[in-house]
Amino acid sequence: MEFLQALDARVRNLISEGKQVVLVGDLNVSRSESDSTNVVETLRKEGLSIEEWMNAPSRRLFNHLIYGGTVQGDRDEGREQPVLWDLCREFHPAREGMNTCWDTKRNTRPANNGSRIDYVLCSNGLKDWFTEADIQEGLMGSDHCPVFATIADVVTAGTEPVPLLAVTNPTGMVAGDGQRLREWNTKDVLPLSARLIPEFDRRQNIRDMFTKNTVAKLSSSPSSPALEVAQAQDLSSRTRNERR
């Protein structure tokens, strides 16, 4: 629940700053009875109502977040308006059995007895950019199946149609007609890229993060979030060794 609360706050803050948001992944919550197989029958056996099920804290919060979400009673303070579109449901509003997760231990996938807990969500300004969204229930290899959404090659940014490549690449890299003007270089690295953080910019291998030499080097530099993480990892490793 704490994760969803933090996610809700983060998404709303970004949108309030004028940013557009795409949120994808396993959110571990089904939206409604249409997104969970046999939920009504299961609730009946447990003596619960659909209203009680919909009012589960995580489900209630999630429905505050998305357009068309069902919220029982008054909306929560600070969540008066939805901010994200559930793209798969927008493209398939009446589709039943659009499950993305099944119980592997009970082998419920062949009968499609599962739930939809994986999403592609987007803010209102991006909704019209998408031309398709769906699940790939036939793709095996996990207890989940992939979920995807397709963005048009040409989108509307402001009032003008522009190539998607021009929007998603640094300024001056792609022309308005979609032609590439130059290649990417290190000067295009985003300001928040880990490559620009002193603690990480010279690392050649992820295993360097877990060596004592790396921790010692970080200890001699000013305090930073990366230093705190490295120190915590080193302490955890030493504690496990002592217990052995």
* Residue numbering of the annotated binding site for Mg(2+): 26, 28, 143-144
Domain segments of the chain as ranges: 2-152, 157-188, 194-243
Q: Quote the longest CA-to-CA distance of the chain.
A: 65
Q: Give pLDDT tens digits for 190-225.
A: 777 776 777 777 666 767 767 666 545 544 554 444
* Residue numbering of the annotated binding site: 26, 28, 143-144
According to CATH, the topology of domain 2-152 is Deoxyribonuclease I; Chain A (3.60.10)
* pLDDT greater than 50 at residue 229: no
Q: Give pLDDT tens digits for 39-84.
A: 999 999 999 999 999 999 999 999 999 999 999 899 999 999 999 9
